[in-house]
Amino acid sequence: MDRNIFDNEHEMFRDAARAFYQNEVKPHSDRWHEQGIVDREAFLKAGEQGMLLMWADEMYGGAGVHDFRFEQILIEEIAKHGDPGFFMTLHSRLVGPYIGELGTDEQKQRWLPKCVSGEHVLAVAITEPGGGSDVAGIRTKVEDKGDHYLLNGSKTFISNGILADLVVVVARTDTSRHGLSLFVVERGMEGFERGKNLKKMGMKSQDTAELFFNNVKLPKDNLLGEWNRGFYHLMHFLAEERLLGACQYLANSEAAFEATMEYTQERKAFGRVIADFQNTRFKLADMRTQMDVAQSFVDRCVLEHNEGNLSAEDAAKAKLFCSELEARVTDDCVQLHGGNGYMDEYPVSRMYANARISRIYAGTSEIMREIIARSLGLDPRKKNKAA
């Protein structure tokens, strides 16, 4: 089905994004996959092209473009023509807005220009070795020492964790369940150490690390947003984070589908191309149908988000459906490739391995179902309270 949410300006931007990925990302993808990390220069090159933190005000070097469709285009093109392990979007749209929306003028002046240029890479550190789904269970803590804050604790599974120059860290600042605050920890601060680049099942070009904070002295003006309001600040950004995920998982499904369309029309068995078997045609027809239906919902969510109307539950539905769809599509695509689909040199093999994380990070599928069920009035916590 034709999509009707883009105009000429978007399509021109899509061409530029595609060319950027084809020239500056794809040629390095195999090497990044082997080395387990993208080159830092990739962020600088994306910055030169004006593709990082496009929403940032011009006074910080940005383009002041808030239209989410431009980010959606970057996500769609990187899935097909780049390397989804290059986490530009995490930098630009998942972490950058914490500084852009919660930061003081001084903080924005201090940090945003280098994030826009790609000189500073961003990460967000919520998850701890003790757990990720239950954000209110965070144990990393910050004490107010009068003229500075003192940070102690550790985080794990942090994307861009090795490359990051600025990390938005969520820490406990009060014993109440939601007593959390956000802090910016900078590369080189004494007591801030990184663990090794963690080896993963998929998304190999993406660096993922443990972070350790041992008596890190934070200047008072590295508190981001309000003291003890960190939990609510996080909740504020979650709808966008889940929409970003949905766009990405759907784009990954499209990339796997296209590779499989091509493969099945070339590969032969029993004297005919694989695409001639009814099973192949039906599988591809099912994928196409489900992706088209999902795309309509995601595009509608994008427009709602542009209007500031995207609800947490609709974002959760998009994230849940697209991540589960990506799992089914990539699995079927590997199957239609036969043994070649299991080989690393075939893109679909990496796509299958990459897809496994989509149902886990940015809130697991189970947590998405919880959010959606609560929106239906099905909340046992409320029932227990009333009893």
Check residue 208 for interaction with ligand FAD (CB under 6 A).
yes
**Helical ranges in 166-311 per DSSP H:** 230-264, 278-306
| Segment interacting with ligand FAD (CB under 6 A) among 151-159, 175-183, 235-243, 292-300 | 151-159
Stretch that binds ligand FAD, among 45-53, 74-82, 329-337, 355-363 (CB under 6 A): 355-363
Q: With CB under 6 A as the rule, give the number of residues binding ligand FAD.
A: 21
Q: How far apart are CA 122 and CA 98, in angstroms?
A: 11
| Chain centroid to CA 177 | 26
DSSP string, 117-168: HTSS-EEEE--BTTBSS-GGG---EEEE-SSEEEEEEEEEEEETTTT-SEEE
CA distance 253 to 298: 13
Q: How far is the CB of 129 from ligand FAD (least distance, A)?
A: 8
Amino acid code (one letter) for 332: D
Site for ligand FAD in 115-144 (CB under 6 A): 123-127, 131-133
Q: Does 372 sit near ligand FAD (CB under 6 A)?
A: no
Site string for ligand FAD, 274-293 (x = CB under 6 A): --------------------
Residue number of the CB atom closest to ligand FAD: 132
Tell me if 368 contacts ligand FAD by CB under 6 A. Answer: no
Asked if 353 is part of the footprint of ligand FAD (rule: CB under 6 A), the reply reads no
Kindly name the residue from 76, 77, 210, 241 that is annotated as catalytic: 241
Active site residue 262: no
User: Which whole-number Å values give the CA distances from 278 to 232, 263, 287, 372, in the listed order?
Assistant: 51, 16, 14, 37
Indicate whether 364 belongs to the interface with ligand FAD (CB under 6 A).
yes
- Per the listing, tokens 């993963």 go with 200
- Taking the C-alpha atoms of residue 255 and residue 214, their distance in angstroms, rounded to an integer, is 43
Query: Which positions are annotated as active-site residues?
Result: 241
Residues that bind ligand FAD (CB under 6 A): 123-127, 131-133, 157-159, 200, 203, 208, 357, 360-361, 364, 366-367, 370
